[in-house]
Amino acid sequence: MAREIIDAHMHLMTAGMFRNLRARAAGTRQVARERARVRGQTFEQRIAQLETMSIADHVKMWLEGFDSAGVRAGAFIGSGDAYDELAEFARSRPDRFYGVGSIPDPTHPDAARTVRGFRGLGLSAVKLYAPAYRVYLNDRVVYPIYEAAAESNLPIIIHFGITVGTFNDLMFANPLALSAPGRDFPEVTFIIAHFGAGFLREAMFLAYHTDNICVDTSGTNNWRLYVPGEPALEQVFRDALRTFGARRILFGTDSTIMSGYRKMIVEEQIGVLDRLDLSDEDRGLILAGNARRIFGMKD
C-alpha cells in the first residue's frame, strides 16, 4: 500500500553545534568532562569527525537516506544553538527539510526573543530538553518561552525521560511538569518525544486533561528495557492510541549523523502499524498527516 512518510524527529549535528555543546559543559567538573562520551566518543572526537563536512554534505547525506527509506520530508532538531547552520540546511530543501531550534537555557533573559526569531530564520518548531535545565518546565520562569511560541505559532518538542545526555538530571525528566503549561497555553502544540522515554504512564495522564499534547514514536524506544515488564513496542503503540488517539501521535526515527537514516525503524514501526489493523486515515495521520498539520508543512 502506497504511503507518505514524514519523520517528525531527527537531529542535525555539525562541528559548530558540538563546539557549542562542549562550551556549555565547561562549568562541570573536569573529570566528568574528560569521561563524557557522545555515543561512545568524546566531544573532541566528534568535532574532528564532523569538521570536514559542509552543510552541502549534510544535505546530500540526508536526501540519500530519505530516498532510500521512502521518506518524503522530516523535521531536524539543531543539536545546539547554531541557528544559522540549521537555517541554511533547512533553506537548502524547504520542501523536504524543516528546522527545529533548540533552546540551551529557557531561563536566559534572551531565550524568548530567540524563539520569536525562529520564524524569520525559516524554522518550524522549538525543542526543549527538560533533564538538561535543572528547572521544572512548569516553573513560571519558563513561561516566556511558551508565550513566544504561542505568538509565533510554533509547536514545542520536549524530551522528557531517559536521556543519553551526559550532564543531565533525571529529577527534571517527568512530563507531568507539562500539565499546567499544557492547559495554560492551549494554542501551543506540545510534543513529548519518544513516548515519554520511560514516562509513558505520566504522558498518558496528560492526554486525559488536554488535547494539545502529543507524543512522537521516535527512536529505538529502548527505554522499554528499563521499565517494569519491558512492554513490547506494539503494546506501547496500543496504549498511546487508546489515550492520545491517532491525531496526536507523530512518527519519528531520532536519526542522527552517527546512525545515518534509520530505515530499520521505519520498517519496524510500519510493521507494528500493520499488526494494529488501523484504518487508512489513522495510519496516514501517524505517518505523515499530523506532522504536516503541526509543523505547517507544504504539500
Contact 103, 117 (CB under 8 A): no
Amino acid (1-letter code) at residue 220: T
CATH number of 6-295: 3.20.20.140
Domain boundaries, the chain: 6-295
Residues of the chain where predicted confidence (pLDDT) is lower than 70? 1-2, 21-43, 165-167
pLDDT value for 165? 64
Convert the pLDDT of each residue in 179-216 to its tens digit. 999 999 999 999 999 999 999 999 999 999 899 999 99
Question: pTM for this structure?
Answer: 0.92
Contact 253, 7 (CB under 8 A): yes
What is the rounded CA–CA span in Å between residue 269 and residue 297?
A: 22
Q: Name the residue among 62, 76, 89 with its Cα closest to residue 261.
A: 62
Convert the pLDDT of each residue in 109-122 to its tens digit. 999 999 999 999 99
Instruction: State the chain's maximal CA–CA distance in angstroms.
Output: 54
